[in-house]
Structures are given as structure tokens and as C-alpha cells.
Structure 1
Amino acid sequence: MKIIRILLVACLATMASCNKYLDIIPDNVPTLDQAFQLRATAKKYLFTCYSYIPQLGDVSANYAILGSREISTPYPGSQSGVRNSIIELAYDYQNIVNPIANYWSGGGDYGGTPMFIAIRTCNTFLANIHKVPDIQEPERKRWIAEVKTLKAFYHFWLLRMYGPIPIVKESLPISADVEAVRVKRQPVDEVATYIVQLLDEARADLPLIITNQREELGRMTQPIALAIRAYTLMLNASPLFNGNKDYAGFGHTTSQPLFSPEFSAAKWTLAAKACEEAIAAAHDAGYKLHRFVKPFDMKDIGDSTRICMDIRGAVTEEWNSEVIWTLTHSSTGALQRQCAPRNDVYSYTISLWAANMKACEIFYTKNGVPIDEDPSWDYANRYTTLKTVPATHRAILKPNYTTSAFNIDREYRFYADLAFDGSSYFMKQRSNEDNLLYINTMWGSSSSNGLSRTSFTGYWPKKMVSWKTSGDGGSYAPDSYAWPAIRLTALYLMYAEALNETEGPGARAYQYLDSVRARAGLKGVVESWANYSRNPSRPASKKASAASSSTKRWRNSSSKGKTIGTCAAGNGWII
């Protein structure tokens, strides 16, 4: 008994020191404090904040591409490389039990990044970056500005998908009680205001351009932040959120609606100003409309080919002068396999993505007006008449080939963006205009590939395939460009839309629209409608100008409580 009493006293005497040993974290387990002990580890945490950006170049992640129905495929699953969920979203199969594109909480069966975890990661960085001792103050300010911009973007992404969302200014502590974690959605106006506030705080400490391009391309800049700001205010001014009667009474109480019940013209004024500032910053940084630069070893090309390449390269030419924000972690190799039609060069493509016929009809005639407004174009018989391609069209269509009248006398964007039977396919391996590749998809041809490898509309989205993508009949090597998330042309079109809403159609509204049209080989809006349209006065009408906007930016195809906006960045068919 004496020995037992001695051992008991010894244990009681050493209990405090035993607790210290039990509380020690193993050496190989990183802690939050360790993440901010050094600049090097803090920089890794900074890149973790970037890691939640959706990979829009991935065919299984960009739900706007197929969800908008501008592009479709009848063959989901392993063969097409496209998740069934993307097809389901396009046909309104969204649900609240296991949502498609679940960016609210992530996980589930249908993909989606947990954006609230992304926001929490940003909040953790902002709360701890001041602890890092070996970092210069200008760099610390820049990192803070980058993370504030990311935090604003993640809120914007949720706002666009779900409308009213909780604003997460600071992360809740682990010890928060049940009531504290029951955060409520905030009105759309308040969410938009908070996003703009974050971006206004960040803009001064962001660089105008990236100077260390080898290591920092893709990181946040002033033009990116101001572009996100413009997108946010455009979204808040749009009919989706601005006086949308469909959501009247949708809120916590009748006195606190989550959607603005009354239309406000002032929101369009703010949006126009934001677009103007974003464009000015982009111009100061040297951004401009992309133009194709012919390699020195390429033979001369004609005007038709050059214009088509100006348009096509605006998407596929990596780091071109038009792309304000490029997603460096999001390549497009698999996406191009979906979009490229099988042919003598691209024999290993999947080739199932089809350009929707309604999207194909959006493209204008060669005179720069809609196909149903041009009296010189036979709209009524567009699908029933066959025509022979003139030899002078050889740069865009196979000479003396019989094709649908639908494909003749269209604007250059039609030929730059789409591939179809008899169309030319300008590529690095066949860049000589005397030896162009022409698509042959007639049944029984060597490139028709049966029903399992063809577009069910007969049109492929060529604009997403780089002209540098190559093959040799037995292989396929995509030129995997990084996804262009924000382009200067999108800001131009948004600015024109906002000006049309605030001051009506006029010289200012058409200035940037006409510059985009000029790059596509078209005359200005007013001139084209005056000379070639059945409705020559249409450009002078505010309502008609708004209705004819071919960006179709604001979408609302689902019911309350579900995703209300599926357009991620727009496919950019007409720009």
C-alpha cells in the first residue's frame, strides 16, 4: 500500500507537465500560425486563395457553355467527356436536393467549388497577413488587395448564381453558437454594394500591368478588379435584379425584400460609369482589340482570312491584347476535342459539340444586319434552298460546292466562329489559301464518322479551337490556351448597353459597338441599318436597341430558391 501511495503522489505532482506533452502538435502537421511565420509560406496561402477560381476551360466545369443552350451535345457521359449534369442543366433539370453546379456548399454528384470555403480562406489570409515579419509593406498591401479582389469575385460568383446571399465580412470563430452560424441572405443591393466596396479598397494597391510576366501572369490587376466591379453593377442594374416583379415579396419579411421591387434608372448610371472606368484602365494598361499577326514563314493571306483570324484569335490566342483576365490554371485541351470536327487532320477528336441553330441564326448577313431584316437575303427559304458557292468565296467556303443558302452571304463572324460542311478550316498545318482544308460531313464521306462522332446540327463551334492545334491523321495535339475569363470586347458591349439604358442610343453608345463591328469587317450600326435593313430607324429606338442586343447576358430560367443565373462569362459568339 505504501508503494501505491508513493506512485499516486508522483503522478499528481507531474500531471501539469503531462498535459503540456499531450497538447503538442506533431512536427509534421502545419498550423495556421506557421502559415504566416514567413513570407514564403504566406505566399503559398495567397495562392490557395486563388485556387478556388472555377476552371472555366474545363468541359466539366463551365456550366455556362452548355447550360446556355448556345452549344449542345446529345451524347453525355464518358464518350463525350461531358458530365450528364451539364446537359441536365441545359434542359432545366436543376433541383434543390442535389443541385447541379453546387457552388454554395460544393460536393455532391454534380460538381461545383464551395465558394463559402473560398471566402473563409480569403478572410483567414486577411486576418493574419499582418503577422508576417519578412515582407516589405508595398508587397503586403498588394497581396491584401489581391485577396480582397478574390473575395469580391467569389461573392460576385455566388450573387450571379443565387441572387441574395449572406455577406461574409469576417469568418465566424469555431466556438460560435448555433444562432451565430444561422446567417441570413442579404438583399441583392447590399451584396452588390459590398462587392464594390471591396474592389474600391483594393484597386489602388493593385498593379496596372504585370511586369514579372514569367511568375505572375494571371494574378489580379487594376483592370481585372474594375472589370469585376463593372460586371457586378451591370448585373445589379439588369432586369434580373432591378425591379423584377417575379420576386416581389421574396424576402425574410415583407418590409425587407431581398430583390429591389422598383426599377431604378440610377443603377444603370452607376453601371455605365463603372464600365467607363474599367475600359479606361484597360486602355491605360495597353489592352486593345486583337489582330492576327501572321508568322514570318506563312504565305500572304487575303482579307477574308485575316478578318476571320482576327475574330477567332481573340479567344484562342493566349495572352493576346484583348484578354484582360486569363485563367492560367484552366487549359482547354479537352474542350477543343469536343469542338473540332473530325477531318483528315483532326482524326482523334470527339467532335460532338454542336452549335445550336438559334445561335447560328444570330449571326448577321454580310451587310451587318439580322438575317430576318435584310431584304436582299432570302430568310423564308434559308433552310430549303441550295446554292453553289462562288469561286471568289474560296477563303471561307469550298469553291463551286453545293450548300445550304443559310451558309451564303453571312458576315465574317459566322465563318470565323462556326465549322460546317463545305466551310474552310484555316489551321497551322493548312495555312496556304491554295491548299485549305474544307470540312466534308456528308453521309458516307471519310470524315462523317457516323452518328457517334458528329454534330447533330451540322455546325461546330470553331471559335474555341486554336488554329495552332494540330494532328497527322493518327494523333491529335491541341494548342491548350488558357481560358480568357474577361475580354475587352465584353466591357465594350456592356458599356454600350448601359449607355443605351441611361441616355438612349446615340454616338456614345455606338462608339464601341462600331469598333467591334469594324474588326469584323462590318460598317457601323446606323449606316448598316440605314442602307440594308427593312427597319432603318431601329438604331434610333432605345427599346429596339436593347431588344436586339445579341449578348443575351442576363438569364433567368429557373424558379425561386434555385439557381437564378447560369451565364458564367458568355460564349462571346458575336464578338
Structure 2
Amino acid sequence: MNKIIYLLGVIILTLTMSSCEDYLDNEPDNILTMDMVFENKNQTEQWLMGVYSYVRDPMWGLFYNDGNGALSDDVQIPLAQAEWGGWAVKAQQGNWTSNSNYGTDVWGDTYKAVRSANLFIQQAKELPIQGLSADSLQDMKLQARFLKAYYYTKMLKMYGPFPLIKDLVETDASIQDLMTERTPLEEIVDYLDVELLEIAQELPLVRDEEATNYGKPTKGACLAIRADMLLFAASPIFNGSDYYKDVENTDGTKLFPQQYDATKWQKAADAFKLFFDETGSTYDLYKEYNSQGEIDPLLSLMHVFTASSESNPEVVWARPSATISDWMMATAPRSSGGYGFCGATQEIVDEFYDKNGLAIDDPNSVYTEIGKSVVNDIRPETEYNRGNSSATPGLVAARGTFNMYVNREPRFYASIMFNGRYYPFTRTRVNYKYNGADGLPSLDMPVCGYLISKMTHDDAQPRNGYVPYYQGIMIRLAEMYLGYAEALNESDPTNTEIVNYINLIHERAGIPSIEDTYPEIIGNQDAMREYIRKERRIEFAFERDIRYNDLRRWMIADEVFSQTPTGMNVYGRTDDDFYQRTDAYTGKKVFLEKEYLWPIRLTYINNNPQLVQNKDW
């Protein structure tokens, strides 16, 4: 036992060389032997909690502290944030290397989590006298297996191939054997595919509604992670990319697929279909209804993130604790007591449809950006009443609003805090103009003239530091719908399910079906591909690192970032000056081809001669 633990510690040290201390590293100081840990029910449960501790916070943590979300083209933060831990600013300027050690050490943390999970799976045991039954133990070990597989999927998306450790190291392993090389990508994908499928078959479909069960994996969560992983594996970055063909281990083993394989899209589509088949009616899109019994799109979209777990059928998996207060402070305007610096770009603002589901550059669109509205924009289908101090039902844009923000789809109003919009907590309208209450010259302002309202709570009080509790969503059903549509379009472009699943998203969003807006794209693979990508960008705007990962897996980031982000003229002191499309003063974001995958930290490369670096880092 002790030799196993020692050797496993050596291999983790070899792969990470991390000085980070946590519960798992400290247990020898607090507990005399490993045997004693698993002779105690509370310590056994605490050990498993330690494995859970590496699940990334899906709110401010993953978005900003880890930097992944803030690296997308939909977000821009002030350059000064680099001095306050906003390392994404430095990365966006091209100022990072394999020795920068920016963000969270996902590589090192993953192997710590895997080490802990493997030990738990092998050593945890039934303790009937203390109340740890055989059934409970089996479920706990399934949770550990699930977490290990989940961490590996995150590792795969970030770094590509990595040394795959499946089990505890044999006691007779030599130090040389522990100098592990990277495992070819397809071998990792095959392992995770089988492992997640096996785990899913044993996990419960639902768990009892007890606080201690919330956040634990279910059959649906496991199948969803499997489908998402296979979607990534089918995407251009991992499916015959010319750029990565020459990456190989020191023995010449190629690490990436050498040719495109169309069947990978079908495999991904089958995985999404299995999710739907196995979960049945367990999940549904979150919907609220108006007094006429019809879907209230705006309230549904606003509350999908803040509704209680018991009343939200859209949540497939969630993290019970999340940095919701940090998210609120970063996105709340300065005049409300927030920091007001986490802003949206003009590019994502332009992406949202008009109220009829048409792109704003469509000749039939009702969109215009000339002048201001002369009437209130009131939507009878919603009972949203926070658009002015009079609580007028359905008011989304008051008379006098810049026309760019009028007649837009409900997801726009659920996501973007545009200039002149009413902010309920302060009972005033936000003002991002120069010398305005929420604008320059303070650096606590949105660079492009837009803050983010998505995933914020109606009753939050920034100045008072009050935010009602809500969970951090890790996976929601809408991701399954659009993932399935994408995989089907690539494998079977005439399949009618593509349109059906997109239309389910549109129905909740309060916009017409594809048949009523763009019937000509149905069955057209290229046109539908662009439509699905646009739909993903709108539906998942600012959520976790979805957009950033999409840009990478589609390998379009270098093209997207070749353009300088734009916004309104935040140096403008008058409406005429402010409402002008202007390049963001932060300048163009730098994205080099090598950045499609992250660098393995130089410390790990230097420590293991068998470990090859990602290309061009």
C-alpha cells in the first residue's frame, strides 16, 4: 500500500512538479496512514469531496480567473485589469509563453485529481457499522470514476493528447517507467468513450432531492459529457488538422489523427441521440408562462440560470457553489456599486436577431441603427416589468432608445445591458458616455459600451453586496440540442431532426421557426453550418468557455481575431458622439495559430524528457 502511494506520488510529481498544497497533499500530516482514512466514514467522504474540488467554477472562475471565457471575441475587458489578476488581457496581447504560468494549472490539477480518484477507487471500502453500505460505496466509486473521466475531457480540449493514466501505478514500476509520454489522441478518445458509457449505465437517472445529492453525477450528465467530448473529437482541430499532423512523441508516434474521418460526426450524433433516448422526459427547456398560458420568452431566458434547482428541468449538471457575487460585481454598472468592467463587444451585439428572427443585415429585417425610437418597445408576450420605474409590463426598450437596441429578439434583452437601459436596483438608466455615471475616465467601465446582463439575478443589490443564491450550471439541455444539430448536419445534412431541435430553441426564445425565416438553408450543409454556429454564439453567449472552445475546435479563431473588436465610442460625451461604431481602444486581440492548444508548462516539459510540447510553443 505505502509503496503504491509513494510511486503514484512520484508519477504525479513527474507530470506536474507542483508545489500547490491541498487536502490531498496534507493528509499524511493529519492522518497517520492511508488505511486510517478509509477506516473512517467521514474521512472517506471528505476524500471524495477533495476529488470534486477540482471541478472548475462555471461562473466567474472559469470565465475570468481561469481566463478561458474572457479570451473569446464576445468579451472585452479593460487593459488595466492585467494589474488585478486579469491575465487574459496579457494573453490577448500575445504576451504569454509556456513559461508564463497564466491562469489555473489545469495540467497539474488534473493529475492531482486523478491520483486522488484512483486511490479512492482502489482503497475505499464498505463500513457498515458507520453507515457506509455497499450500495453507497459503489455509487461513490462511480462518482470518482465519473470525475476522473470528466477531468480528462477538459484536459483533452485544452491541451490535446496527454499522458493517460488509467489506474494506480504498479508497485514494481521503475522511475524510468514513470517518465510517461503523451498518449495519442484517438486512444484517449476511445478510452473516454468506453469509460463514460460504462459509468452512465450504472449511474442513476435522477437523484433524491437532497442537498447532499445536488451536483452529483447522473446518467444524463455522464452521457452529455461523452457526447460533448465526441463532438470536440469530430471537429476540425482533432479531425485531420494539417497543422497538428507532424506532432509526435520522441519515438516518432504521431499524436494526432492524420486524416479526416467523416464517421466521427456520426459517432457524435449517435452519442447525442443516446442521451435523449436514455434520459427520456427527465429534462426539458426551462420555460415560464404568461397569464395567457403561453411561453414568456424573456422571463424564461432571464431565469434559466437563476431558477432553483428543483424547478429547473434544463439543468443536466450543476456546481452547487459558484462565484455568482463576483460575476454580479463585474457586470453591474459602477453607479450601482458594481465594478462594471466586464463588457460585451459590438460583434456579439450585432449577432442577435431582430424580433422576427432575421439577421440584422437581412434586407427584410426591421432593424435600423439610425436615430432613436419614438415609441416604447413593448412585447405583449412577456410580463417582464423592469424596463422603467413604472413597472410597465412588456417594456424592453423605452421611447428614446437608440434604434440599434429596439426590435431585437428576447435573447438580446436577456443578455446585453446597453446604454440608456433601465437598471432596476438604482432606478436609473445606465450611462457609459465619457464622464457618465458608468463610463470613462474611470477604468470600471465597459470598453465597448456594453455590460452583460446574462446570468445575473433580478434581485441582486451590488452596493449592498447581496446576491440571492443560484447554482453554477455546468451543462444545460440547450447544449445537447445544438450539439446534436451540429453533429447531424455534418453527418446527415438532410435529416429533419436538425431543424426540429433548433426550432425547440427558437420556440423558447420567442422567435419564428427556421421554416418561417430561412427555409432555403434547410438541407444545405454549408449554410446550415453557419446558421448553427451563429445560433450557438447567441444562445450560449458569455456562458463558461463555450464560445472560446467553439472558436478553437472549428479552427476559425485566427480569422475571427484578425479584426479589431468594435463598440460604441466610449469617449463620446453626447449621444451623437457616443452612438458611433468605433474600434475598441484596447486594440486588436492577438491569436496565433499555436494558441489553438495551450502550452504545457515548461516546468513539466523540463522535468520529463519523454513529454513533448504542443506545436510552436
The verdict on a shared fold, with TM-score over 0.5 as the criterion, is yes
Q: Cα–Cα, structure 1 residues 225 and 374, in superposed 2: closer, same or farther, change >3 Å?
A: farther
Larger-gyration structure (1/2): 1
Which deviations, in whole Å up to 9, do the C-alpha atoms of 1:451-490 show, x marking residues without a partner? 333212111110121112135xx52412242211101001
Query: What does residue 470 of structure 1 align with?
Result: 461
Please, which moves more after superposition, 230-239 or 474-483?
474-483
Does 2:322 match 1:330? yes
Q: Cα–Cα, structure 1 residues 254 and 35, in superposed 2: closer, same or farther, change >3 Å?
A: closer
Maintained 8 Å contact 2:161/2:185 = yes
Aligned letter for 2:399?
N
Maintained 8 Å contact 2:269/2:487 = yes
Which deviations, in whole Å up to 9, do the C-alpha atoms of 1:374-418 show, x marking residues without a partner? 433467xx4xx2222422436444432141x32222211111111
Query: What does residue 315 of structure 1 align with?
Result: 305
Q: Cα–Cα, structure 1 residues 76 and 440, in superposed 2: closer, same or farther, change >3 Å?
A: closer
Deviation at 1:514? 0.4
Query: What does residue 417 of structure 1 align with?
Result: 415
Query: What does residue 503 of structure 1 align with?
Result: 492
Q: Cα–Cα, structure 1 residues 512 and 453, in superposed 2: closer, same or farther, change >3 Å?
A: same
Aligned letter for 2:405?
N
Q: Distance in 2 between matches of 1:462 and 1:26?
A: 46
Does 2:554 match 1:521? no
Q: Distance in 1 between matches of 2:493 and 2:29?
A: 66
Deviation at 1:539? 3.3
Maintained 8 Å contact 2:377/2:396 = no
Maintained 8 Å contact 1:58/1:331 = yes
Name the SS for the 2:316 alignment partner.
strand
Which deviations, in whole Å up to 9, do the C-alpha atoms of 1:506-548 show, x marking residues without a partner? 4211111101111111111122114xxxxxx233310111123
Query: Residues 242-253 of structure 1: matches in 2 within 5 Å?
Result: 242-252=239-249
Query: What does residue 544 of structure 1 align with?
Result: 527
Q: Cα–Cα, structure 1 residues 185 and 226, in superposed 2: closer, same or farther, change >3 Å?
A: same
Which deviations, in whole Å up to 9, do the C-alpha atoms of 1:14-69 show, x marking residues without a partner? xxxxxxxxxxx999634211111133322221111111111232344342220113
Which deviations, in whole Å up to 9, do the C-alpha atoms of 1:187-224 show, x marking residues without a partner? 11111111122212212321211204222111111111
Number of residue pairs aligned between Structure 1 and Structure 2: 503
Q: Distance in 2 between matches of 1:176 and 1:561?
A: 35
Q: Which of 321, 342, 350 is the aligned partner of 1:353?
A: 342
Maintained 8 Å contact 2:288/2:300 = yes
Q: Cα–Cα, structure 1 residues 543 and 144, in superposed 2: closer, same or farther, change >3 Å?
A: same
Q: Which of 228, 238, 242 is the aligned partner of 2:235?
A: 238
Does 2:55 match 1:64? no
Which deviations, in whole Å up to 9, do the C-alpha atoms of 1:412-454 show, x marking residues without a partner? 11111111123344x5x69xxxxx7643444455555753332
Query: What does residue 122 of structure 1 align with?
Result: 117
Query: What does residue 96 of structure 2 align with?
Result: 94
Query: What does residue 386 of structure 1 align with?
Result: 371
Q: Cα–Cα, structure 1 residues 561 and 97, in superposed 2: closer, same or farther, change >3 Å?
A: farther
Aligned letter for 1:413?
R
Query: Residues 247-326 of structure 1: matches in 2 within 5 Å?
Result: 247-252=244-249, 256-285=253-282, 287-292=283-288, 306-319=296-309, 320-326=312-318
Q: Distance in 1 between matches of 2:55 and 2:322?
A: 9
Q: Distance in 1 between matches of 2:60 and 2:32?
A: 31
Query: Residues 365-404 of structure 1: matches in 2 within 5 Å?
Result: 365-377=354-366, 382=369, 385-393=370-378, 395-403=394-402
Aligned letter for 2:285?
L
Q: Cα–Cα, structure 1 residues 363 and 562, in superposed 2: closer, same or farther, change >3 Å?
A: closer
Query: What does residue 111 of structure 1 align with?
Result: none
Q: Which has the higher contact order (CA 8 A, sep 6+)?
A: 2
Query: What does residue 167 of structure 1 align with?
Result: 164
Deviation at 1:251? 1.4
Name the SS for the 1:154 alignment partner.
helix
Name the SS for the 1:453 alignment partner.
coil
Aligned letter for 2:412?
F
Which deviations, in whole Å up to 9, do the C-alpha atoms of 1:326-379 show, x marking residues without a partner? 111323111111112244xxx210011110111111111222122223433467
Maintained 8 Å contact 2:240/2:258 = yes
Query: What does residue 611 of structure 2 align with?
Result: none
Give the root-mean-square deviation of aligned CA atoms: 3.0
Q: Percent identity?
A: 24
Q: Distance in 2 between matches of 1:554 and 1:103?
A: 22
Q: 5+ residue gaps in structure 2? A: 1-26, 379-386, 388-393, 537-546, 558-590, 600-617
Q: Distance in 1 between matches of 2:171 and 2:105?
A: 22
Aligned letter for 1:65?
G
Maintained 8 Å contact 1:355/1:460 = yes
Maintained 8 Å contact 1:162/1:562 = no
Maintained 8 Å contact 1:365/1:371 = yes
Q: 5+ residue gaps in structure 1? A: 1-24, 107-113, 295-299, 431-435, 531-536, 567-575
Q: Cα–Cα, structure 1 residues 352 and 87, in superposed 2: closer, same or farther, change >3 Å?
A: same
Q: Distance in 1 between matches of 2:399 and 2:225?
A: 48
Aligned letter for 1:321?
P
Query: What does residue 407 of structure 1 align with?
Result: 405
Maintained 8 Å contact 1:323/1:487 = yes
Deviation at 1:101? 2.9
Q: Cα–Cα, structure 1 residues 104 and 460, in superposed 2: closer, same or farther, change >3 Å?
A: closer
Aligned letter for 1:547?
E
Name the SS for the 2:288 alignment partner.
coil
Q: Distance in 1 between matches of 2:504 and 2:347?
A: 25
Q: Which of 182, 187, 190 is the aligned partner of 2:187?
A: 190
Deviation at 1:102? 4.7
Maintained 8 Å contact 1:307/1:519 = yes
TM-score when scaled to structure 1? 0.80
Q: Distance in 2 between matches of 1:263 and 1:356?
A: 34
Query: What does residue 533 of structure 1 align with?
Result: none
Deviation at 1:263? 1.1
Deviation at 1:141? 1.7
Please, which moves more after superposition, 200-209 or 439-448?
439-448
Q: Cα–Cα, structure 1 residues 142 and 76, in superposed 2: closer, same or farther, change >3 Å?
A: farther
Which deviations, in whole Å up to 9, do the C-alpha atoms of 1:134-167 show, x marking residues without a partner? 5322222211111111000111111010001111
